[in-house]
């Protein structure tokens, strides 16, 4: 089964913001907003939940720091103790720089990997661009028919009112759940 969608193309961000606000007030279902750059405050208008990437970052950082610290202690105090300048085997200050570096490395790599996994990105993936100009100077707001009360003409009128330069209809295969 396919879904009926209306796509409003805008040429400035204020129009996008007011259209999104109006659509939310009318209880319309906004599938996605495509913009060439990040519009500050849009995520709050759309009511998006906070990204969970920061949690991934925190856990990966703690994991990296913990593993590296364990390895350093194991290597320099248990497995192969070497006397360096008469310092104790477990000299924490000496471990700090490497622990810090590995923490940053883990946190960075795992955050990027998690981002790729969540957004299903991989090398060589074909770009799915909804409108050729959203990567340049246009903004697209995609609204989906959610129930029987969806009035195509009214939604089209609403989008136009908020400055849409073009409104197109499209049918899409239902996204598998």
Partner 1 sequence: MSQLEFTYQPPRALVQTLAALVGLGVLTWVAGLFVDPQRAWGVLLMVSFWLLSMGLAGSLFVGLQYACGAGWAVAFRRIPEAMTAAFPLGAAGLMMVFLFHPEIFPWVTHHGKAGSFHAIWLNRPFFLARAIGYFVIWFVFSAVLIRNSQRQDVDGDMRHTRRNIRASMAYMVVFSFTFALASIDWVMSLQPEWVSTIFGMYHMSGLFVSGVAMIILLMLWLKRSRPLCDFVNDEHLHDLGKLLFAFSTFWMYLYFSQYMLIWYSNMTEETVYFILRHEGVLKSMFLLNFILNWAVPFTILLPIPSKRSPRVIASMAVCVLAGRWLDLYMGIMPPITNGHVAAPWMEFGMMVGAMALFVLAFLAWFRRAPQTPVRDPLLAQSLSYHS
User: Given the complex with partner 1, which of 91 and 133 has the nearer CB atom?
Assistant: 91
Choose which of 41, 62, 154, 172 interacts with partner 1 (CB under 8 A): 41
Task: Print the binding letters for residues 45-84 with partner 1: x by CB under 8 A, - otherwise.
Answer: -----x---x---x--------------------------
Shortest CB 94 distance to partner 1, Å: 6
Q: How far apart are CA 154 and CA 167, in angstroms?
A: 12
Q: Is 127 helix (H, G, I), strand (E, B) or coil?
A: coil
130 secondary structure, DSSP code = S
**In the complex, least distance from residue 93 CB atom to partner 1, rounded to whole angstroms:** 5
**97 near partner 1, rule: CB under 8 A:** yes
Closest CA to 46 of 29, 59, 58, 60: 29
Residue nearer to partner 1 on the CB measure, 26 or 51? 51
Minimum CB separation from partner 1 for residue 53, in Å?
A: 12
Do 28 and 159 touch, CB atoms closer than 8 A?
no
For residue 60, give the nearest of 104, 98, 107, 101 by alpha carbon.
107
CA distance 159 to 145: 14
Q: Which residues bind partner 1 (CB under 8 A)?
A: 40-41, 44, 50, 54, 58, 85, 87, 93-94, 96-97
């Amino acid at each position: 089964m396919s879904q009926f969608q209306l796509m409003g193309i805008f040429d400035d961000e204020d129009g996008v913001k007011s259209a999104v606000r109006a659509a939310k007030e009318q209880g319309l279902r906004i599938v996605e907003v495509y913009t060439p750059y990040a519009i500050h405050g849009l995520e709050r208008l759309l009511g998006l939940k906070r990204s969970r990437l920061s949690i991934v970052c925190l856990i990966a950082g703690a994991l990296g720091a913990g593993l590296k610290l364990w390895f350093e202690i194991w290597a320099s105090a248990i497995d192969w103790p070497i006397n360096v300048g008469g310092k104790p085997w477990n000299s924490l200050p000496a471990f700090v720089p490497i622990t810090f570096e590995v923490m940053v490395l883990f946190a960075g790599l795992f955050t990027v990997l998690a981002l790729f996994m969540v957004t299903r990105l991989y090398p060589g993936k074909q770009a799915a661009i909804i409108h050729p100009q959203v990567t340049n100077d246009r903004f697209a707001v995609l609204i989906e028919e959610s129930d029987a009360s969806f009035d195509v003409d009214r939604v089209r009128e609403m989008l136009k009112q908020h400055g849409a330069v073009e409104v197109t209809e499209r049918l899409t295969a239902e996204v598998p759940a």
